Amino acid sequence: MGQPIEIICVGNELLIGMVVNTNSQWLSRRITALGLSVNRITTIGDDVDQIAQALREALKRKPQFVFMTGGLGPTFDDKTLEGTAKALKLPLQTHDKALKLVRQTYRRYEEEGRIEKEVELTPPRMKMAKLPKGAEPLPNPVGTAPGVQLRHEGTTVIALPGVPTEMKAIFDESVMPVLRRVAGNLTFYETSIDVTGVMESEIAPLIDRTMHDSPYVYIKSHPSHTGEGKPRLALHLSTTASDSTTAKNRVGKALMQITELIQTKGGKTRPITEEEVSQA
């Protein structure tokens, strides 16, 4: 498995259920697809002390990366960088490159007709260019607030905006190439099957046996029901290996074994399409 990665999501709107936390799901899928592993996701409010505490606790676990989403904008409740600076005991400083990126963005808005006149860089707007000392900005192709990257004792901390389109754009343009270099030839492979006619409690020992025989394959069950209360569940099999052939062979072996074991219990299986997985 790849080096561990943690995600910290910042925003009161996440804690009160006003906004669904799709950012962590999207980041996890992108990171895992590279063969790297996310081992913790933390959600906290727009509070400097909470942000600082969550980051300090994450850094104690020595992950290779900590991703932070949300709280980079110009408003009073955008406190991620302030919390980061507090956690690392660093001053916040206006970063020339970050300021240039912010200024260029507003100039682009003017040229595109999205604003009527040249925007004054007020203190709230200047706030987006104040980074913890030693940090570097990451260009935001679709929004105003730059992303931020800094290193601390072997861990790379990357802060991304909470607006999904902006987060995704910065990630794909500036972060993905870094993660690809870290991942090297690591390959993540997964498949899912639908199982009917067998209770989850009956399948549990079959999963244990299969994972014992295929220790590098992880099998996760997701129970549901068919009509009239008939048992039904999905099994998700996944692995990370040094190359795609090894990954596929591992999952293929485990899939064949678990399928045969389920059939001995009178159960039926069928492959689950990617569309079905995404809709689950």
Q: Residue holding tokens 């996440």?
A: 14
Stated as kind and residue range, the H or E segment containing 137 is strand 136-138
Domain identity same for 89 and 173: yes
Stated as kind and residue range, the H or E segment containing 215 is none
For residues 161 and 92, give the distance between their C-alpha atoms in angstroms, rounded to a whole number.
18
Total structural domains within the chain? 2
Instruction: Tell me the pLDDT tens digit for each residue of 128-144.
Output: 999 999 999 999 999 99
pLDDT at position 244 over 60? yes
Domain identity same for 134 and 18: yes
Q: What is the mean pLDDT of the chain?
A: 91
Domain that holds residue 273: 187-279
Q: Rounded to the nearest 5°, which phi and psi values hold at 115?
A: -130, 155
**Residue 41, both tokens:** 């996701």
Q: What percent of the chain has pLDDT over 90?
A: 77
Tell me which of 144, 162, 183 is where a domain ends: 183
pLDDT at position 274 over 90? no
Domain identity same for 114 and 212: no
- What per-residue confidence (pLDDT) applies to 1? 46
Instruction: Tell me the pLDDT tens digit for each residue of 246-267.
Output: 999 999 999 999 999 999 999 9
Instruction: For residue 106, count CB atoms less than 10 angstroms from its CB and return exposed for 0-12, middle for 13-18, buried for 19 or more.
Output: middle
Identify the CA nearest to 132 among candidates 158, 77, 94, 174: 94
Instruction: Tell me the pLDDT tens digit for each residue of 92-115.
Output: 999 999 999 999 998 888 877 777
Domain identity same for 221 and 242: yes
The enclosing domain of 150 has a CATH number of 3.40.980.10
- What per-residue confidence (pLDDT) applies to 61? 96
Domain identity same for 174 and 225: no
Domain identity same for 40 and 134: yes
Domain identity same for 193 and 176: no
Q: pTM here?
A: 0.81
Instruction: Tell me the pLDDT tens digit for each residue of 116-125.
Output: 777 788 899 8
Tell me which of 151, 183, 215 is where a domain ends: 183
Instruction: Tell me the pLDDT tens digit for each residue of 178-222.
Output: 999 999 888 899 999 999 999 888 999 999 999 999 999 999 988
The enclosing domain of 269 has a CATH number of 3.30.70.1130
Domain identity same for 213 and 97: no
Tell me which of 183, 204, 236 is where a domain ends: 183
Q: Residue 229: pLDDT band by 50, 70, 90 thresholds?
A: low
Domain identity same for 54 and 110: yes
Instruction: Tell me the pLDDT tens digit for each residue of 43-82.
Output: 999 999 999 999 999 999 999 999 999 999 999 999 999 9
Domain identity same for 269 and 145: no
- What per-residue confidence (pLDDT) applies to 222? 85
Domain identity same for 28 and 144: yes
Residue 174 makes CB contacts below 8 A (sequence gap 6+) with 138, 139, 147, 149
Domain identity same for 273 and 196: yes
Angle at 269 between CA 251 and CA 208, to 5 degrees: 50
